Amino acid sequence: MLFDKMTSNIMSQAFNGLARVLVEKPLEYVVYDLPETWNPEVFDPAFALEEGQAQQALPGEVIIFEGNRRIVDFQSPGCLVLKLLSTPICTKTWAFSRSSRQALQTHEVLSLDSQLLLAITTLGKIGDHESLENLRVLATRHGNHSVRWAAVQAAAAISEDAAIKMLQNALTDAHPHISNAAKRTLELNGL
């Protein structure tokens, strides 16, 4: 991969891997260590990265990165780097502000989950009652919490009764964002 420009944000990696500098130009990068308590699956807008450590890889050197332990932020545009990556170790990457290092948002790593989220949103907009059973299955069984919550939201756009049942089930979801959102939604609606 030719590293041609810095990204607008600092991005976490959802992979383990290594990178090797292939040209006669050193690669500048910054390493941000992540706390052991950091969970890439649970977005926390209050989370901010600590100050990173600037480093340099000389031609031929290898950089090892572990996506759940540190962020490696490449800084040298125009450097040719060979990257070898594992399969995803989590379903999300986080974007952090370059200036404040504050968490901004997450992005889905798996293209299948991204496509599924789009399909679920479309089902909600179409409003077909026949899709409610499929949405119920997704809301209770899918491994990605973003997909589960999107299924609940799509069901709410189709049927209030179905949405209430799904929200009640979501109260016991293992992911805190889902269970907390279900609780707040039911409380706001006096249920």
pLDDT by residue (tens digit) across 130-170? 999 999 999 999 988 889 999 999 999 999 999 999 999 99
Q: What is the pLDDT of residue 78?
A: 77
Is the separation of the CB atoms in 34 and 94 below 8 Å?
Answer: no
Strands 92-96 and 10-11: antiparallel
Q: What are phi and psi of 144, to 5 degrees?
A: -95, 120
Distance CA 97, CA 45 (A): 11
6 pLDDT more than 90: no
Angle at 76 between CA 4 and CA 94, to 5 degrees: 80
**C-alpha 75, offset from chain centre:** 22
pLDDT by residue (tens digit) across 161-179? 999 999 999 999 999 989 9
- Residues forming a β-bridge with 28: 56
- Residues forming a β-bridge with 19: 63, 83
Distance CA 138, CA 153 (A): 11
pTM over 0.85: no
Local confidence band at 109 (pLDDT 50, 70, 90 cut-offs): confident
The mean of the pLDDT values for the chain is: 89
Mean pLDDT of 16-29: 88
